Structure 1
Amino acid sequence: MTAPEPVTPPRFAAVGAGRMGRGIAIAFAYAGYRVALIDLRERTPEAWRRLHDEARAEIAGSLAGLARLGVVDAAQVDAIAARVELFDAGGAAAALAGAELVFEGVPETLAAKREAFARINAHCRPDAILTSTTSSILVTQIAEFVERPERFLNIHWLNPAYLIPVVELSHHAGTDPAVLARAKALMESIGKLPVVCGPTPGYIVPRLQALVMNEAARMIEEGAATAEEIDKATRFGLGLRFAALGVVEFIDFGGADILHHASREMSASIDAQRYRAPAILGRMMDEGRLGLKTGSGFYDYAGRDVGAYRADVLLRTLGMLRHAGLWQPPAERTRD
């Protein structure tokens, strides 16, 4: 059974009707756009109906969950869900024909990606931006499957896709800068916060968080701390600070020398390879670029009002404390 073809196909399409495709579809629908959710697999009518109903139920359930939390009016749920238009393999050509931005989200194998892009290449218009949502395959590998690869990049969403604002845009050497700029603008139009990286394994967020998560698991394995204590420390210590300051900004704020010395000590006491400081940190030490206190580090602070900047950092941190319910006013009187 093929979903009815709209008079004008949606501008946006998610290929792959699994969890990621559904999340992407919700994000666009929430922002007011019609979006095509496309299943490329040839299925029996019964199998397609099951998938269709399952996808509809998950989309409605996710929106209903937001309504229960008070961030969406319950009266809006049906209208938002209706902006997601589902298409089976038979309707894929019509759905893709009008899309200006396409997200491939089929299973994480090169064979599946190759097959999906063969279909996408055949039906998409020449100026459509084509992307993959892969979390594990380099953009350079998938670009080989794309006709006119200058219009291709990876766009990695963080789950839940309709909730987390950051999306990671990974481009290859042949990606047209105008395409990258257009992709960023389109993501911003639905309230996302695009960040850009080159063809690097793990993008930005997964590469950083894998290190933290593995180290947390090692600490439990070693008996250094319980899961509960580690989670308390990361939520209200590490996480709270990094919500107020970016990781690189944090290095500059405290000083590259602090990280340099801490890395040296932990390399000696824990693991030389895991805690070895990168060469760039050594060069910064040699050049006296220690961050805010020397006027330059990863960022340049020349001409900046340092006092105002420090006050802003404090304000951001206090905001996170208040949000977490951890800020306490001063005691009214001296305690014994």
Structure 2
Amino acid sequence: MTASDAAVMAGPRVAAVGAGRMGRGIAIAFAYAGHRVSLVDLRERSDEAWQKLHAEVRAEIETSLGGLASLGVMASERVPEIVARIDVVRADEAPRALAAAELVFEGVPETLQAKREAFQHINMHCSADAILTSTTSSILVTQIAEFVKRPERFLNIHWLNPAYVIPVVELSCHAGTDPAVLARAKALMEEIGKLPVVCGPTPGYIVPRLQALIMNEAARMIEEGAARAEEIDKATRYGLGLRFAALGVVEFIDFGGSDILHHASREMSASIDANRYKAPAILDTMMSEGRLGLKSGSGFYDYTGRDVGAYRSDVLLRTLGMLKHAGLWRPPATATQE
């Protein structure tokens, strides 16, 4: 073990409560980064049922890591050592694992009753300075905070599947979340290679709220006969998705101009659906104030003092990079076609 490996191994003890898909993904993410992880099953099981679950968890973790190795992301000989960092913990050993944890992720089924019962265990056994989180994708942080003994040390951390691959994690805080706890949680996520983004106690976080609109609209277009599934997927992978991989959604609004979005929304509101496509009031305000984005010097972002030419070149470079990655960049023809 190198000195850097030893430093990482000495890092925070992590517990993922709930041995389902999310818990397993979180365990892999931390173990891959060098941390020991307790994957805690709170359900009382017979010996036979426990052995079956334990074998299933181990097999899935090994298969997931083996998949990374087969794609050349990591050496296959690293798989056993990463797997060995994950302790699959039975319910009767949960108190020990929770007491040792500095960072706890609750990932039990998406019901308030299941969350309440899980936090009864967590409250009872975790240390007073542990950071407690829920990975819920649908329940507000304010609702779950009511179940937590020390709510100032609690926030939601929403992972995107596969949890050990997708870098973004969404951190949702309630009014009582200690700013120092948020800062520490962000730092811990960054230490394992994640990109934390912060939002308030809002339904759907950021990514699910945006993607639900897109997915519903895609299904609606198929329903209406507007386009086939294959055409929609081609358009989103190499049009919509490619551009939004090079530019963030809000950055994209500013780059093209908020007036473009305003006018497009007006037209589609009239021709498709007034409720779905009505522009929000913030766009009306920006239009009246002349804050049209990059072209006017301010929009959602302030471009004062920015080298606009250099910025445009950077955006073009990002986009070309995505085109090349997708294998769609074509060099100029070497001869004129008659």
Letter in 1 for 2:225: G
Deviation (angstroms), 1:142: 0.1
Q: Distance in 2 between matches of 1:9 and 1:254?
A: 45
Give the drift of 1:308.
Answer: 0.3
The equivalent of 1:271 in structure 2 is 273
Unaligned runs of 5+ in 2: 1-9
Aligned to 1:257: 259
1:41 maps to: 43
Letter aligned with residue 260 of structure 1: H
1:176-195 alignment runs, 5 A limit: 176-195=178-197
Within-5 A mapping of 1:66-145:
66-145=68-147
1:222 alignment partner, one of 218, 221, 224: 224
Structure 1 residue corresponding to 2:65, chosen from 53, 56, 63: 63
Q: Distance in 2 between matches of 1:259 and 1:182?
A: 38
Counterpart-to-counterpart distance in 1, 2:146 and 2:40? 22
1:306 equivalent among 305, 308, 312: 308
Distance in 2 of aligned mates of 1:313 and 1:237:
15
Residue 6 of structure 2: aligned partner: none
Kept in 2: contact 1:9–1:94 (CA 8 A): no
Secondary structure in 1 matching 2:277 = coil
Q: Hey, what does 1:242 align to over in structure 2?
A: 244
The match for 1:167 is 169
Which AA in structure 2 matches 1:216? A
Distance (Å, rounded) in 2 between the aligned partners of 1:56 and 1:105: 18
Which secondary structure does the structure 1 equivalent of 2:305 belong to? coil
Q: Deviations over 1:210-245 (max 9, x none)?
A: 000000000000000000000000000000000000
Are 1:334 and 2:336 an aligned pair?
yes
TM-score (structure 1 length as normaliser):
0.97
**Distance in 2, Cα, partners of 1:333 & 1:65:** 44
Q: What SS does the corresponding residue of 1:48 show, helix, strand or coil? A: helix
Runs of at least 4 residues off by over 3 Å: none
Local SS of the residue matching 1:107: coil
Superimposed CA distance per residue, residues 33-78 of structure 1 (whole angstroms, 9 cap, x where no aligned partner): 1100000001111111111110000000000111111101000001
Q: Is the contact between residue 11 and residue 35 of structure 2 (CA under 8 Å) also seen in structure 1? A: no
Distance in 1 between residues matched to 2:72 and 2:11, nearest whole Å: 32
Q: 2:111 and 2:231 mapped to 1: Cα distance?
A: 38
Alignment CA distance shift 1:39-1:291 (3 Å):
same
Describe the SS at the equivalent of 1:130. strand
Pairwise CA distance, 1:9 = 11
Deviation string, structure 1 residues 138-192 (Cα, Å, up to 9, x no partner): 0000000001100000000000000000000000000000000000000001000
- The one-letter code matched in structure 2 to 1:264 is R
**What is the CA–CA distance in structure 1 between the aligned matches of 2:12 and 2:293, rounded to whole Å?**
48
State the alpha-carbon separation in 2 of the partners of residues 334 and 179 from structure 1.
63
| Pairwise CA distance, 1:321 | 0.2
- Tell me the CA shift for residue 10 of structure 1: 6.8
What one-letter code is carried by the residue in structure 2 that aligns with 1:29?
A: A
Unaligned runs of 5+ in 1: 1-7
Q: Does 1:286 align with 2:291?
A: no
CA displacement at 1:313 relative to structure 2: 0.2
Contact map agreement 1:15 1:21 (CA 8 A) in 2: yes
Structure 2 CA distance for partners of 1:289 and 1:249, relative to 1, 3 Å: same
Give SS of 1:304's match.
Answer: coil
By how many angstroms is 1:137 displaced? 0.2
1:285-305, Cα deviation, whole Å (9 max, x unpaired): 000000000000000000000
